[in-house]
Amino acid sequence: MIAIIEHPRLGRVLFDCGYGSALVNATSAGARMYKLGLPFVLPENERIATGADRIFLSHYHPDHIGGLRDVSGAPPILCSRDGLARLRSLRGIALHRAAFFPELLPDDFDARAEAIEDLPLVAGIGPFEEGRDVAGDGSLIAIALPGHAAGQYGLLCDRRVFLCADGAWLRTNIVDRRWPAWPVRALVDDYAAFTGTLEKLHALSKSHPELQIIPSHCEDSIAAYGQHG
């Protein structure tokens, strides 16, 4: 899933970039294995035809950064510096297991990257006690969602919608505390942290039932937002 958030000062904020031509064309051993294990077809309507004023990356998995090179212009990219540093330190099997393919990042990535960790610390929501103020007005708050992947953040929008990326796979993982099966577990970075994040998402869904929590891969949540959002 990708999302576009219109903000009065920041403009069009693109939340993740989905699959993209760079992933389709990637030839590294890791990328080829990934595409064999998790084949995909790039839907025409997921191509990012229009530009963005800023990109927010939830994490560095291929289905979230694969379209980065397709975004026109060179907007700043808000992302986790700590997560990227850890991924760049990995070698061999650990790198493959993390499913991080550096060739998906644009050549000017480092010059455009802005660290979420440098944003002002503010109150979070529910059991997520703190977050980072993306827009300076409290309307967009980055919330750390550790466990699934290095440096994963979700984005709380107007305290009304919480884009929780892959903090959960499906809404049922959160509401029913039904933990996902393979391949989600196989790709998890830190299983203890992952289940801790799921427990917090579950508690948040109970304490804030009005909040729309949308996992990136949950078509039911996305459809429900389309109807009621």
Q: Of 135 and 193, which CB lies nearer to Zn ion in the complex structure?
A: 193
What spatial distance separates the first Cα and last Cα of the chain, rounded to whole Å?
16
Q: Of 148 and 202, which CB lies nearer to Zn ion in the complex structure?
A: 148
Number of residues that bind Zn ion (CB under 5 A): 3
Whole-number Å distance between alpha carbons of 127 and 144:
12
Query: Applying CB under 5 A, does 154 fall inside the site for Zn ion?
Result: no
Residues 6+ apart with CB under 8 A from 205: 174, 175, 211, 213
Q: Of 70 and 166, which CB lies nearer to Zn ion in the complex structure?
A: 166
Whole-number Å distance between alpha carbons of 169 and 38:
15
Residue list 177-206, contact with Zn ion (CB under 5 A): none
Residue 32 CB, nearest distance to Zn ion (Å)?
19
Residue 58 CB, nearest distance to Zn ion (Å)?
8
How many C-beta atoms surround the C-beta of residue 93 within 10 A? Answer: 8
Q: Of 61 and 200, which CB lies nearer to Zn ion in the complex structure?
A: 61
Residue of the chain from 16, 70, 166, 189 that contacts Zn ion (CB under 5 A): 166
Cβ-contact 164, 194 below 8 angstroms: no
Stretch that binds Zn ion, among 76-84, 111-119, 128-136, 147-155 (CB under 5 A): 147-155
Enter the tokens of residue 149: 């992947």
Q: Of 59 and 139, which CB lies nearer to Zn ion in the complex structure?
A: 59
Secondary structure class of 149 (helix, strand, coil): coil
Cβ-contact 8, 140 below 8 angstroms: no
Q: Of 60 and 109, which CB lies nearer to Zn ion in the complex structure?
A: 60
Task: Sort residue 125 into left (φ over 0), alpha (ψ -120 to 50) or beta.
Answer: beta
Q: Of 64 and 139, which CB lies nearer to Zn ion in the complex structure?
A: 64
Stretch that binds Zn ion, among 15-23, 61-69, 73-81, 118-126 (CB under 5 A): 61-69
Residue of the chain from 18, 23, 61, 215 that contacts Zn ion (CB under 5 A): 61
Task: Sort residue 104 into left (φ over 0), alpha (ψ -120 to 50) or beta.
Answer: alpha
Stretch that binds Zn ion, among 8-16, 79-87, 142-150, 155-163 (CB under 5 A): 142-150
Whole-number Å distance between alpha carbons of 203 and 199:
6
Stretch that binds Zn ion, among 49-57, 65-73, 160-168, 203-211 (CB under 5 A): 160-168
Looking at the DSSP bridge assignments, the partners of residue 122 are 131
List contacts with Zn ion (CB under 5 A).
61, 149, 166
